[in-house]
Amino acid sequence: MTVKVGDEIPNGELTYVPYNEKEELNACTVPQPYKIHDNLKNKKAVIFAIPGAFTPTCTQEHLPGFVKNYDALKARGVDEVICVAVNDGFVMNAFGKVTGANKNIIFAGDGAGTFTESLDLTLDLSSLGIGKRSKRYAMIVDNLVIKYLGVESGGNVEDSSAEAVLAELK
């Protein structure tokens, strides 16, 4: 069953590369574990998921809103902004670097899709040749409890946009 507002976010492990301003663009740093419950306990976080790093809507429409509104999110008490995709940590690291957004946003890979499956937010894009991915969504998590969940039903970026999240953070 799909997670909903009021649920505790499932515990899971993603992979990410912590930001390092000295690291070269093509340096190949090994991703580290990002344990959901360990990292988000007693914190407010915005997690937004994209179907795939480097895909057009994700790169040109979804991510830019979170980059543009990062300071506004922080001003409303958000401790962490996390971009998740069913990609490996290496791809997510490259995506963060290429877009220039890795300084503020954590780019976390859910390589096997296990975290996405635990949320019941899997999207089958096999017809496009990219397999099982994550639905496009955004959620506000406060001390491990989901306070907002906006899941897109098509290719839109509305309920999962940074603006929709900001409206919920009042």
117-167, pLDDT tens digit by residue?
A: 999 999 988 888 777 989 999 999 999 999 999 999 988 999 999 999 999
Backbone angles phi, psi at 25, to 5 degrees: -55, -40
Burial of residue 112 (number of CB atoms within 10 Å: 0-12, 13-18, 19+): exposed
Residue 26 confidence (pLDDT) above 60: no
Nearest by Cα to 148 from 41, 6, 1, 2: 6
**Higher local confidence (pLDDT), 1 or 149:** 149
State the pLDDT confidence band at 30, using cuts at 50, 70 and 90.
Answer: confident
Q: Which position among 36, 58, 84, 123 bears the catalytic label? A: 58
Which CATH architecture describes the domain 13-17+30-169? Answer: 3-Layer(aba) Sandwich (3.40)
Can you read off the two tokens belonging to residue 5?
Answer: 């507002």
Q: Is 162 helix (H, G, I), strand (E, B) or coil?
A: helix
List the chain domain ranges: 13-17+30-169
Residues 6+ apart with CB under 8 A from 11: 35, 36, 37
Can you read off the two tokens belonging to residue 145?
Answer: 């409890």
Nearest by Cα to 111 from 163, 45, 34, 1: 34
Query: Residue written as tokens 């040749």?
Result: 129
DSSP single-letter state for residue 40 = H
Measured between alpha carbons, how far is 157 from 159 in angstroms, rounded to an integer? 6
Residue 51 confidence (pLDDT) above 90: yes
The residue ranges of DSSP E strands in 11-155, in sequence order, are 13-16, 32-35, 44-49, 80-85, 106-109, 122-124, 132-134, 137-142, 145-151
Q: Is 153 helix (H, G, I), strand (E, B) or coil?
A: coil
* 28 a catalytic residue: no
Measured between alpha carbons, how far is 45 from 83 in angstroms, rounded to an integer? 11
Q: What is the pTM of this model?
A: 0.93
Can you read off the two tokens belonging to residue 138?
Answer: 């955004």
Measured between alpha carbons, how far is 30 from 119 in angstroms, rounded to an integer? 26
Nearest by Cα to 34 from 112, 105, 109: 109
